[in-house]
Structure 1
Amino acid sequence: MNLHDYKVTMIDGKTKDLAEYKGSVVLIVNTATKCGFAKQFSQLERLYEQYKDNGLVILGFPSNQFLNQEPGDNDEVLTACRKNYGVSFPLTEKVDVKGADIHPVFEFLTKAKPGLLNESIKWNFTKFLVNHNGDVVARYAPKTKPEAIESKIKELLEL
């Protein structure tokens, strides 16, 4: 299994087959607009704008599993991301990134790259970098700023 074997429901309710990202480098992030790390939205957007034409996709998965930091519905999440942070990269519907109802993509990601103590996502803005073949190549902690990942993204994009 790899990332390309999954489908997700986007924030607008449409289904997206992640096989469409074959050949792209994908950075997956669990997000929350009311999190202290939310300023990373702007940094992620900068990376997306800079490298999307070279094959980078950033895919945000909003989640409300950490201290109620994403309480709104999908429309509210989308509005906050666009208005407050200028986000244009794709977002999915709100999902669970851990626990009994974990989204299948996050089950795949966390098994491929477990955290320090266990597989589970510990907080918002955990990041997973996936190569053009759909394989998870790295996991980054929430405190890791997106620009710290830029050199690895460029390496995978062969820039």
Structure 2
Amino acid sequence: MLWALLVASAALVAADDGSQCLSQGLTGTVYGSTEATLAGTNVDLTQLFGYVSVVMNPGVYSEWTSQMMTGMNTLLEKYEADGVVGLGFPCNQFNLEQPGSPGEILNAYKYLRPGNGWTPHQNFHLFTVTEVNGDTASDIFKFLRSACPAYTEELGSKASFYWDTLVARDLRGTYEKFVIDKNGKPRYRFAPNVAMTEIYPYIDELLAETPIQPTQFPGVEAGN
């Protein structure tokens, strides 16, 4: 019943392609850690308070790479003056779609997919390879999964998954997207096939909100 009410209240969320996160009363925030980038720098996510962000898990050998990586750059160009950032956590847990060292990964995006000299927008942070599912998943993705129901009950083929314990809220593939509000709370989750242009209305919605100034950043909290 609760899920039905949430879906009914979120008119923008497309059936089977997206879900609304259970952020009301949620403890913790995505903006509570420091993450290492593929370029060898560190990004303090606590500095993103007041920004809307789009989190996704890219994989260079995914069929969605060209569309989603160029789409992210276009999204960030559109919202460059509005306080929107992209947070990419490459993941090798789906069909081994993201192998390689940090330098190899950056070159693969630049010369292979999307190719043509592609580089990330200045507001698109690409972090080191991250596990998003299973017992060894990063705290950020445990937190995201605890807050955001899966958009479909179908898990897909276990043969393409490279982690041990499957649970209902696991990510289904590369290029899932989570839209995070100005307080670092996940608000929406989208399937890999959802185009970047389709999440513009959700970003507009969150940009119109006023963040609540926290007294301190509690950091991410692990969920199931």
Shift of 1:152: 1.2
Equivalent position of 2:99 in the other structure = 71
Superposed, 1:17-28 pairs within 5 Å as: 17-28=44-55
Letter in 2 for 1:19: T
Q: Does the C-alpha gap of structure 1 residues 80 and 53 become closer, same or farther in structure 2, counting only changes over 3 Å? A: farther
Percent of pairs identical after alignment? 28
Partner of 1:5, secondary structure, is coil
Match of 1:52 in 2: 80
Task: Identify which of 109, 114, 117 aligns with 1:81.
Answer: 109
What is the CA–CA distance in structure 2 between the aligned matches of 1:49 and 1:3, rounded to whole Å? 23
Question: What TM-score, normalized to structure 1?
Answer: 0.93
Deviations 1:99-120 (A, max 9, x none): 1210111111111102133111
For structure 2, list consecutive stretches of 5 or more residues without a partner in the other structure: 1-27, 154-167, 210-224
Higher share in helix: 1
Q: Distance in 2 between matches of 1:29 and 1:141?
A: 10
Matches within 5 A, 1:136-155: 136-155=186-205
- Structure 2 residue 127 is matched with structure 1 residue 92: yes
Partner of 1:7: 34
What amino acid maps onto 1:137 in structure 2? R
Aligned mates of 1:97, 1:52 — CA distance in 2: 27
SS in 2 for 1:44: helix
State the distance in 2 between where 1:108 and 1:17 align.
17
Residues 129 and 137, structure 1, Cα contact 8 Å, conserved in 2 = yes
Higher strand share: 1
Deviation digits for residues 35-85 of structure 1 (CA, Å, limit 9, x no counterpart): 001021101110011112210001111011111111121111122234424
Distance 1:10 1:37 in 2: 22
- Structure 2: how far apart are the matches of 1:120 and 1:99? 8
Distance in 1 (CA, whole Å) between partners of 2:108 and 2:47 is 27
User: Which runs of 5 or more residues in structure 1 are unaligned?
Assistant: none
Secondary structure in structure 2 of the residue aligned to 1:13: coil
Rounded to whole Å, the distance in 2 between the matches of 1:18 and 1:143 is 27
Larger radius of gyration: 2
Q: RMSD of the TM alignment (CA)? A: 1.6
Q: How many residues align?
A: 159
C-alpha separation between the residues in 1 aligned to 2:43 and 2:125?
10
TM-score (norm 2): 0.67
CA contact (8 A) 1:11 1:93 kept: yes
For 2:173, the equivalent position in structure 1 comes to 123
C-alpha deviation, 1:17, in angstroms: 1.9
Q: CA deviation at 1:129?
A: 0.3
